[in-house]
Amino acid sequence: MNSKNRILTSLSHNQPDKIPMDFGSTPVSGIHVLPIYKLRSAYGLKDIPVKMIDPYQMLGEIDDELADILGIDTIGLFGKNNMFGFANENWKEFKTPWGQTILVPGKFPIKKDQNGDYLLFPEGDISVKPSAKMPSDGYFYDAIIRQDPIDETKLDTKDNLEEFGLVSDDDLAFWKNQVNKNYQKGKAMVANFSGTGLGDIALVPAVQLKHPKGIRDITEWYMSTVIRQDYIHEIFEKQTDIALKNFKKFNDVIGEHIDVIMLCGTDFGTQTSQFCSADTFRNLWFPYYKKMNDWIHQNTEWKTFKHCCGSVEPFIDLFIEVGFDILNPVQINAKGMNPAHLKNKFGDRIVFWGGGIDTQKVLPFGTQQEVEKQVLDNCEIFSKNGGFVFNAVHNIQANVPVENILAMFKAIKKFNGE
């Protein structure tokens, strides 16, 4: 099997020749720029600056050379502009607070505040207020909440829809060019079209907008899912209508080459519980997820990818009912998320994309032997009869020991008999 066949076989709940693996195809299955540099060094590759492709989380590009060494079976496709609304192009060097020289987009504003913290600006425009900040001793950016006072009598859902619109012909041409450059590599294509994340709190602050209006404070948004449900329904309905029109545009141009679409990254779980009840999920999110999944499954061969952190075991039947094919990151250290239980109860109905290694404790703080054992144990559980793509529980962070990351990849190869 080549990588694409391996992924598609597992997504169909059949046993592939070996466990397929993803790192870097989505904003929630990637690796920070620092460990990518350390991995390249560990494998004796040329010392070149890593491209930072996600300014928010400071995720790096896993180049083809490193991806082939690691055995990655996926390619991630992204829009021309990053989350801050400027293009990932015209790369320039930037020295990070931790001393690593990386490549950043040309419009990436290298600017500090009076405390020495790094600032990011919507569209890279330093003439407006910053929308994110990275502490001088930090490793990624946090959104700056720019919430205007809320006047309940003047709330307008158009304000919370400003960042959503129909894909342009120029953007479609950009996507087509990406596909043309990558589809012959024999790997599964994972598309991140954007615009489909219903209430994703990473997106609510709208860091790409210069003057965001509407409800943009994360706390206020969570409150709104209880006290302003009519308002949220209207946003979700209009956002979904736009998404369906965009799906058709994408499908007409590149649909035959897309294997997986990351549909939504909204989290419903905490470490020990859920952000809302199952009834609230069914009332508020279910109708719109259903419309998106139904259109995709009726018109394409794409598999839909739902990211949701935390203790979401009570929601998994709902995720399946609403049409999601894939659940990520499979937070195995959260309450109720035991791998054997998840596989036994849901494994024939949904694909687990992640859950291969705990990124809160074992990967960053365990021994290499503990890393190997957990990887081997989880691969044994999740891989039976397919329905599993190896990934960590969310992105690999900056200061994870490279020895542990190497131990993880060696364990995967060991399980696969390589």
Indicate if the pLDDT at residue 46 is higher than 90: yes
Q: How far is CA 347 from the centre of its chain?
A: 22
Domain-by-domain residue ranges, the chain?
A: 3-30+71-80+148-415
| Token duo for residue 142 | 């946090």
Q: End-to-end alpha-carbon separation of the chain, Å?
A: 14
Q: Would you put residue 331 in left (φ > 0), alpha (ψ -120 to 50) or beta?
A: beta
pLDDT at 268: 97
How much is the average pLDDT of 112-123? 96
Read off the pLDDT of residues 267-317 as tens digits, 9 standing for 90 and up: 999 999 999 999 999 999 999 999 999 999 999 999 999 999 999 999 999
Indicate if the pLDDT at residue 110 is higher than 90: no
The pairs formed by 102-108 with CB atoms below 8 angstroms and a separation of 24 or more are 102/33, 102/37, 102/49, 102/50, 102/51, 102/52, 102/60, 103/49, 103/50, 103/51, 103/52, 104/52, 104/55, 105/55, 108/52, 108/55
Could you list the beta-strand ranges (E) of 108-177.
Answer: 111-112, 118-120, 132-134, 142-143
Question: How many residues would you count in the chain?
Answer: 418
| Residue among 344, 359, 305, 302 nearest 328 (CA) | 305
Q: What is the pTM of this model?
A: 0.97
Consecutive H or E run containing 191 = strand 188-192
Read off the pLDDT of residues 344-392 as tens digits, 9 standing for 90 and up: 999 999 999 999 999 999 999 999 999 999 999 999 999 999 999 999 9
The domain 3-30+71-80+148-415 is classified under which CATH number: 3.30.565.10, 2.60.40.420, 3.20.20.210, 3.40.630.30? Answer: 3.20.20.210
- For the chain, give the mean pLDDT: 97
Exposed, middle or buried by CB within 10 Å (0-12, 13-18, 19+), for 399? exposed
